[in-house]
């Protein structure tokens, strides 16, 4: 009997090869041929396991987003002991080594651009964006005035994405420390700012273990 249960193995292998190809050649120049060559398999295998190139692309995006989410869950479980810690965990996750690898950023940006004209990709992207905002708001509402939460969450999310974007362009990979510091500074300053400005409306001091 031939090898069974190859499906998950091959799918992972092909998704990995897709990331590699998009990193090396770009999304436009990524073809069934480049992917299968990197994976060391024949071209037919992609249609065999994914039905077609498009589905492989979507699976790859899903994988990227899932990884981001998984990492966040882990970080929150470890460090999520206070609102501020939770916020920092979110930042750390978004600038973790995997997420900010050259492979990760290039692919992420390529798919984001592609999603402008591909509804199935856009949907995935939106789900993820919504999740990031939710997580941010959940923690923010405990440390800043309620009417500033939405506004601030939007700003942090934009800051994260903007730093990724700039990192993708300028360097081989994002300068993680710098980017991380900019985001955390923004969070700390926002909290501090509202406490200084409106001490009476100040939130009860959040337990902060640092």
**CA–CA gap between residue 26 and residue 136 (Å, rounded):** 31
Closest separation between CB of residue 111 and DNA, Å?
15
**CA–CA gap between residue 169 and residue 104 (Å, rounded):** 13
25 by Cβ neighbours in 10 Å (0-12 / 13-18 / 19+) ranks as: middle
**CA–CA gap between residue 38 and residue 36 (Å, rounded):** 5
Residue 4's binding partner among its own copies, DNA, none (Cβ under 5 to 8 angstroms by kind) is: DNA
- Smaller CB separation from DNA, 10 or 79: 10
Query: Interface with its own copies includes 190 (CB under 8 A)?
Result: yes
Query: Interface with its own copies includes 9 (CB under 8 A)?
Result: no
Choose which of 26, 44, 97, 162 interacts with DNA (CB under 7 A). 44
Choose which of 15, 18, 22, 53 interacts with DNA (CB under 7 A). 53
Query: Interface with DNA includes 48 (CB under 7 A)?
Result: yes
Query: Interface with its own copies includes 191 (CB under 8 A)?
Result: no
Choose which of 16, 20, 41, 63 interacts with DNA (CB under 7 A). 41
Query: Interface with its own copies includes 176 (CB under 8 A)?
Result: no
Which among 47-55, 59-67, 82-90, 108-116 is the span making contact with its own copies, rule CB under 8 A?
Answer: 108-116
Residues contributing to the site for its own copies (CB under 8 A):
25-29, 106, 109-110, 112-118, 122, 125-126, 129, 151, 154-155, 157-163, 165-166, 168-170, 178-179, 181-182, 185-186, 189-190, 192-193, 196-197
């Amino acid at each position: 009997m031939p090898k069974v249960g190859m499906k998950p193995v091959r799918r992972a292998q092909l998704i990995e090869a897709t990331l590699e190809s998009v990193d090396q050649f770009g999304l436009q120049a990524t073809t069934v041929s480049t992917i299968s060559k990197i994976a060391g398999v024949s071209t037919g295998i992609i249609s065999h396991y994914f039905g077609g190139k498009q589905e492989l692309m979507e699976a790859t995006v899903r994988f990227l987003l899932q990884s981001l989410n998984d990492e966040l869950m882990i970080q929150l479980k470890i460090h999520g002991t206070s609102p501020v810690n939770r916020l920092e965990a979110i930042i750390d996750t978004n600038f973790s080594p995997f997420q900010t690898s050259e492979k990760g950023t290039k692919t992420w940006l390529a798919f984001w651009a592609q999603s402008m004209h591909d509804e199935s990709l856009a949907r995935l992207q939106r789900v993820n964006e919504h999740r990031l905002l939710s997580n941010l708001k959940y923690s923010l509402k405990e440390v800043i005035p309620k009417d500033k939460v939405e506004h601030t969450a939007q700003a942090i999310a934009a800051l994260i994405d903007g730093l990724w974007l700039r990192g993708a362009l300028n360097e081989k990979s994002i300068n993680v420390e710098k980017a991380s510091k900019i985001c955390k500074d923004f969070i700390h300053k926002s909290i501090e700012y509202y406490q200084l400005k409106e001490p009476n409306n100040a939130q009860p001091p959040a337990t902060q273990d640092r």
